[in-house]
Every structure is written in structure tokens, then in C-alpha cells.
Chain A
Amino acid sequence: GQQLNQSPQSMFIQEGEDVSMNCTSSSIFNTWLWYKQDPGEGPVLLIALYKAGELTSNGRLTAQFGITRKDSFLNISASIPSDVGIYFCAGQWVSNRDDKIIFGKGTRLHILP
């Protein structure tokens, strides 16, 4: 079946560092989504990308929809303690009938004291 490869699986960084994570797939998607999940909470949508090559920012977050439509990356600049959590990428295929979405396994971000 379809799979998303999300990397890295986990990251340990110092506060103030920049972060980069990415997702790749063997399948084409027409939407890429990035979510952040805090413990015990639902995933919260950070950025949605709808066009190949699209580069979108949301504050310190920047994400890009790969030209091949098979990959996406998320960058976080100048990390702060509240950035800690699990980041999920998701590829979504939108049709008139339904939406199919596949999640990556997540990147766990830890900030060292």
C-alpha cells in the first residue's frame, strides 16, 4: 500500500536551533499537510500545501510542496520550548468522491535544556 517515509524519526536540538524534517512517497499527492501533536491532544494543522513547488510560511514555520508532488519538507527556525511535540506529515488525494489521506510516522522533536 501507499506509504510516507518521514524523517528523521526524532530530533534532539538546542533551543534557538533551526529544524528540518521531510516526507517522501512513491505516490503523487495533490495536497501536503503538516500537523503538530502535543501529548494527549489532537493533531493541529500547521501548514497546508496545494500546488507543486509551493512554498508557504506560517510564522517561524516554512514548508514546501515538492515539484515531483512526491515529497515535502518542513523547517522550523529559531526553535523555542513550545515547539516540542510530534510533527506529522500527511499526503492527501482529493477527489470529488472522497479524500484519501496518508500519515507519516511522525518526527519527535525534543529540545535539550
Chain B
Amino acid sequence: AAGVIQSPRHLIKEKRETATLKCYPIPRHDTVYWYQQGPGQDPQFLISFYEKMQSDKGSIPDRFSAQQFSDYHSELNMSSLELGDSALYFCASSATGTGDSPLHFGNGTRLTVT
């Protein structure tokens, strides 16, 4: 079965650079979620989109922005990167409102800021 696809798998950037992470949800899933996971931490919710509109916002820094496109894929844009942004970034997708659509996660993008 198709899963959530994230790219790139690994990304190394320098401080103050920008990064773009991409997420392709499971087909027919209309909701995308972004999570940040630091070492030894549980995933922290950043932001979510439903039908291309922002549906919820968590602890996303102002330096980050995201959007969901007409084909439901999503991109997380990160600017002015800081060392503390180094983490695993996960995307998850679900089919909102169906009542039986749990979140399915991608394998993440490991961002290293040097």
C-alpha cells in the first residue's frame, strides 16, 4: 500500500540558510500534519492543513511556513535556520472526518544545521 512520502531523507544546511521539506500524503488523504522531533523527544506538532487550508497551528516558529497544494502535497519552508532546528521532521496524513482514518507517518527528513 502507498505510504506517506517525504523528501529529502537527509538535509544538511548551514546557519541562516533556508530549507524546504516536501511531503506527499497517502492517496485520497486530504489532511497533512507536520511534526518536529528532537533527540529523545516525542513528536511536537507544528502545523496542519485540511483541503489546502491551514487547520491547526502548534509550536511552529515564525521563521517557518507551510502550505498544501492542489494535489494535496505539502511543503514546509524553513528560513534563517538555527542550530536548534536540527531534528527529525515528520509529515503525517489522514482522511479527515471519516471517523476511522488514523494518522500515517512518513519516514521523516533528518535536518542537520551546522
List the interface of chain A (C-beta within 8 A of B).
Answer: 30-31, 33, 35, 40-45, 48, 50, 88, 90, 92, 94-101, 103-106
Contact = CB atoms under 8 A, between A and B. Distances in A.
B55 A33 contact: no
Interface in B55-114: 55-56, 88, 90, 94, 96-108, 110
Contact of A44 (B31, B45, B48, B105): B105
Contact of B42 (A45, A96, A104): A104
19 contacts: A30-B99, A41-B108, A42-B4, A42-B105, A45-B102, A45-B103, A45-B104, A48-B102, A50-B99, A94-B99, A96-B97, A97-B96, A98-B48, A98-B50, A98-B55, A99-B97, A101-B103, A103-B43, A104-B42
Chain B, interface size category, equals 20 to 34
Contacts, number: 70
Interface of B: 4, 6, 31, 33, 42-43, 45, 48, 50, 55-56, 88, 90, 94, 96-108, 110
Nearest to B49: A98
Given A43-B90, A98-B50, A98-B55, A103 B102 contact: no
Given A42-B90, A103-B42, A104-B42, A97 B105 contact: no
A101 B96 CA distance: 12
